[in-house]
Structure 1
Amino acid sequence: MLWPQPCDTAMENQPDTITHSLLTLLVFWVHLQNNQRSQMSRFIECARRRFAVNRAARVQRFLRRQQETRRAFEALMANYNSPPAKRTVWIQHRSSMWWEHVTTNWTDYEFQLNFRMRKTTFRQLCDILKPHLSRQLTTFRKPLPVEQRVAICIWRLATNMEYRTISHLFGIGQSTAVTITNHVASVIVDQMLPRYIKKPSEDEFKVIIQEFRDQWGFPQCGGAIDATHIGILTPPGCPSDYKNREGFYSVFLQVVVDHRLRFWDINVGSPGKIHDACVFTNSSLYKRGQSGTLFPKVTERFAGVKVPVVLLGDAAYPLLPWLMKPYHENPNMAPAQLTFNNNLGRARMMVDRAIGRLKGRWRCLLKRCDCKINNLNTVISACCVLHNFCEDNREDYDGTDVQQADVQANANICKDSTEASRAIRDAVCAYFASGSASL
């Protein structure tokens, strides 16, 4: 059998096809390599150009910093050898023409009407405070004179004017006015309170007792006691403790006065929510009275009872051997008891007058004292010291006494202490009933 022979033409064309495919692949590979090289070359060229630009910018910045440093150094060296420049502006310029007008043109009456004391008394106050308020004169700005510093504090206490207005009047900054007021008030308390508010001596107590007897017919009286509310800003922390029964925030000022309307004991700062009697029992006055060290051992016998020196208080206070209060008023009161109440109330009016004059002179205590709670006791105490200072120097008080309502006077939470207390009150009551008292 004969098999078919392969075609010679097909066998000859097969190697040519393979070769053509290989050549095609080779050309494609070469073209691909050329494209990659060109892309890489473009990337390298772009990076080189960018680096060159950045390098030029860095060089420029470096040269600019070098130039600025050189100029600053040259300026510093130039100023080093030159005389120091004098500072021309320390504070904002403010006019003090008003204070200059006050010191030169105001009469003694005008000065006393606004500063609550005559010029001579004001200078005496400045002399007392000068060693503690003087400032050293340096090459810096000129310090305020002592007289102006004291006047700023007195004006604030007397008028309760805003610090912004005070700064305009005296030609100072508002913060400076606040600082000066608080500092002068603290110096007044530190340096003058032990001198002007103190317990009378035994001889002075004898004069007080005799004056109360001569002027109001009440025997064995060493003073009158009362408390008043001082309105304050809403305090932080626990404001409800300071809200009194009248609905405003306050602190208590408890005072004891003599026959000359002078305070000889004060207690400041108790929250307004508590009762008068609680303020009293928590005070040092109560502890001294209970221990028998408050008054001298001076007694007088009425109706067979030895009556010691006593204070006069209202119905809110407890009845103690050394503190007299009125009888509870009712329709069935004995005439002798009513007479006792009338004489006690008349003598006790001294403390109401003293508080009225205190608030009338120093108006920062009259409505609301707009100072922080941590400075409040200092401001109130300074006002009490200045009240006694004015009374000692016989300063006229042209205003009317501020009428102060009795706070919680009808809330008698304190019981009569002992039979001895009632016996002493009954003995004084018998003294008035017998007609021995005379004015």
Structure 2
Amino acid sequence: MDQSFLLMLTNLLHLHNHLDPTTSLLSDSTSSYSSSVASPTSPTSLLTSTSAAPLLFFTIASVLSYLATHPHKKKPKTSTSSPNNNPSSPSPAAAEFSVSAFRALSTEHIWAMEAPLRDAQWRSLYGLSYPVFTTVVDKLKPYITQSQLSLPSDYAVAMVLSRLFHGFSAKTLATRYGLEPYLISKITNMVTRLLATKLYPEFIKIPVSRRRLVETTQGFQELTSLPNICGAIDGTAVRLQHLPSETVNSSMYYSRYGFPSILLQVVADHKKLFWDVCVKAPGGFDDATHFRDSLLYNRLISGDIVWDKGVNVRGEHVRPYIVGDWCFPLLSFLLTPFSGNRTGSPAENAYDEALLKGRKMVEEAIGLLKGRWKILQNLNVGLSHAPQTVVACCVLHNLCQIAREPEPELWREPEENGSPPRVLENEKSFYYYGGSARQALADDIYQRLSSR
């Protein structure tokens, strides 16, 4: 029994003995009190024939005895450093982000709100509007259900989106949601893997159909005045928060800017939608090496991808092509600028200016990607899960562009520099046709501009 309770009981006993010395033993007093109460014949005799002190004492003693045998639970201390391990009863610090709080917001109140206010609130939490959020959940729910995750599918997706959008670490998110960091990492890895595998084929597609190819080339022609552009390619270093100490050849991960990273290569269309994504190289590699190691390069150079939409430009057959900067090789299906500083002939400079307008689409797409999914500004996941996290963000980027979500402030990439890559032996014929097509396009656009 608690020592303070015993001390209080002893003091009350001494008080009782002082008020009524005729009854000095606790056991006798208890017996006398019980028999008096039990007797139906003299209900008033207790108040008239004896002192009131025993009744007062034992009433207090009974109450204290009840409290001692039914202790109240101590109120937990509010702490942000010790999250509750039970998702169904989160700590006060995580109460706002509990399953019940999320359920109340997403099911009970969400449709009572005005759509602009509702979607603005959702974007501030998860980076996208409520309808787009439900689209993601609906598409992932069958796979998450199969995993037998103990959390609701929409709650799990919301947690991962908040991490990708705000760039939270697993530890920070664990404190917020009242879960263990390892569980946050597990859920993040599962959801990003599903986005990168199950949703990738649906939302990131090479424009091989006639309708989509025509739509893309016409869109680029309106922007650049150059015919038959079907995409713009670029690479970017995705900064890693840290490298594991056991990483083999860790120096290969350091980019030219001095931080550890992995390389992301994307091809975007005129609407800033990615139609190809590749994450296969550490940050120390150059864009040309990464491109030549990609599946897209191998499919193009082998003729696996056939774009049946050639145009004749000043007697030169020009097939659909993607445009890139001088860090990529000049090929028949990838055209690059004549120079990086506009030091060519008037025709070459006119072509370079037009090409830049096309390349701007992929540069802005990357800026939107990193501006919206802030985790890509300082990737805080394990190295083995970094590629799928990057690809997952690219899938979400396309979803937002398709849904015409408001575009965030662009993330600004550092200026690239370097020399054009050397031509490989197996690329010589592609290089020759690429050079001929580029010159024909330059002469054509310069003549059109001059005749205005």
What is the TM-score normalised by the length of structure 1?
0.73
Q: CA deviation at 1:295?
A: 4.2
User: Separation in 1 of the partners of 2:375 and 2:235?
Assistant: 17
1:198 and 2:205 are equivalent in the alignment: yes
Q: CA deviation at 1:202?
A: 2.7
Aligned to 1:384: 394
Instruction: Tell me if structure 2 keeps the 8 A contact 1:295–1:309.
Output: no
SS of the residue corresponding to residue 414 of structure 1 reads coil
Identity between Structure 1 and Structure 2 (%):
28
Structure 1 stretch displaced more, 304-313 or 411-420: 411-420
Instruction: Tell me if structure 1 keeps the 8 A contact 2:270–2:358.
Output: no
Q: Aligned residue pairs: how many?
A: 344
Instruction: Tell me if structure 1 keeps the 8 A contact 2:348–2:442.
Output: yes
Q: CA deviation at 1:333?
A: 2.3
Q: CA deviation at 1:132?
A: 1.0
CA radius of gyration, larger in: 1
Cα deviation code 1:179-206 (max 9, x no counterpart): 1111111122221011111212232111
1:171 and 2:178 are equivalent in the alignment: yes
SS of the residue corresponding to residue 198 of structure 2 reads helix
Rate the CA distance shift 1:321–1:189 in 2: closer, same or farther, 3 A. same
Aligned to 2:440: 427
User: Separation in 2 of the partners of 1:208 and 1:135?
Assistant: 38
1:414 and 2:425 are equivalent in the alignment: no
Q: CA deviation at 1:292?
A: 2.5
Instruction: Tell me if structure 2 keeps the 8 A contact 1:226–1:255.
Output: yes
Instruction: Tell me if structure 2 keeps the 8 A contact 1:352–1:403.
Output: no
Rate the CA distance shift 1:306–1:173 in 2: closer, same or farther, 3 A. same
Cα deviation code 1:363-405 (max 9, x no counterpart): 1111x211111111111111111111111122112x2111212
Q: CA deviation at 1:436?
A: 6.6
Aligned to 1:113: 124
User: Separation in 2 of the partners of 1:145 and 1:419?
Assistant: 57
1:328 and 2:339 are equivalent in the alignment: yes
1:401 and 2:410 are equivalent in the alignment: yes
Cα deviation code 1:57-95 (max 9, x no counterpart): xxxxxxxxxxxxxxxxxxxxxxxxxxxxxxxx9848524
Instruction: Tell me if structure 1 keeps the 8 A contact 2:263–2:281.
Output: yes
Cα deviation code 1:239-293 (max 9, x no counterpart): 0111122111111100000111111111103011121111111111111221223
1:183 and 2:190 are equivalent in the alignment: yes
User: Separation in 2 of the partners of 1:437 and 1:381?
Assistant: 44
Question: AA paired with 1:167?
Answer: A
1:43-82, aligned counterparts within 5 Å? Answer: none
Structure 1 stretch displaced more, 327-336 or 223-232: 327-336
Aligned to 2:385: 375
User: Separation in 2 of the partners of 1:330 and 1:381?
Assistant: 32
Instruction: Tell me if structure 2 keeps the 8 A contact 1:198–1:265.
Output: yes
Question: AA paired with 1:432?
Answer: I
1:231 and 2:239 are equivalent in the alignment: yes
User: Separation in 2 of the partners of 1:330 and 1:257?
Assistant: 24
Q: CA deviation at 1:424?
A: 0.6
Rate the CA distance shift 1:317–1:438 in 2: closer, same or farther, 3 A. farther
Question: AA paired with 1:376?
Answer: A
Unaligned 5+ segments in structure 1 are 1-88
SS of the residue corresponding to residue 347 of structure 1 reads helix
Question: AA paired with 2:238?
Answer: I
Instruction: Tell me if structure 1 keeps the 8 A contact 2:327–2:418.
Output: yes
Rate the CA distance shift 1:127–1:332 in 2: closer, same or farther, 3 A. closer
Rate the CA distance shift 1:419–1:134 in 2: closer, same or farther, 3 A. closer
Question: AA paired with 1:192?
Answer: L
User: Separation in 1 of the partners of 2:367 and 2:451?
Assistant: 27
User: Separation in 1 of the partners of 2:150 and 2:293?
Assistant: 43
Aligned to 2:70: none
Instruction: Tell me if structure 2 keeps the 8 A contact 1:250–1:272.
Output: yes
Question: AA paired with 1:213?
Answer: Q
1:27-426, aligned counterparts within 5 Å? Answer: 91=86, 93-95=89-91, 96-99=94-97, 100=101, 103=106, 104=109, 107-134=118-145, 143-200=150-207, 201-232=209-240, 233-235=242-244, 236-328=247-339, 333-366=344-377, 368-397=378-407, 399-407=408-416, 409-415=417-423, 417=428, 418-426=431-439
Question: AA paired with 1:387?
Answer: H
SS of the residue corresponding to residue 252 of structure 1 reads strand
SS of the residue corresponding to residue 107 of structure 1 reads helix
Question: AA paired with 2:128?
Answer: M
Instruction: Tell me if structure 2 keeps the 8 A contact 1:256–1:263.
Output: yes
Unaligned 5+ segments in structure 2 are 1-83, 111-116
Q: CA RMSD in A?
A: 2.5
Rate the CA distance shift 1:281–1:167 in 2: closer, same or farther, 3 A. same
Cα deviation code 1:14-69 (max 9, x no counterpart): xxxxxxxxxxxxxxxxxxxxxxxxxxxxxxxxxxxxxxxxxxxxxxxxxxxxxxxx
Rate the CA distance shift 1:308–1:135 in 2: closer, same or farther, 3 A. closer
User: Separation in 2 of the partners of 1:226 and 1:420?
Assistant: 22
SS of the residue corresponding to residue 224 of structure 1 reads strand
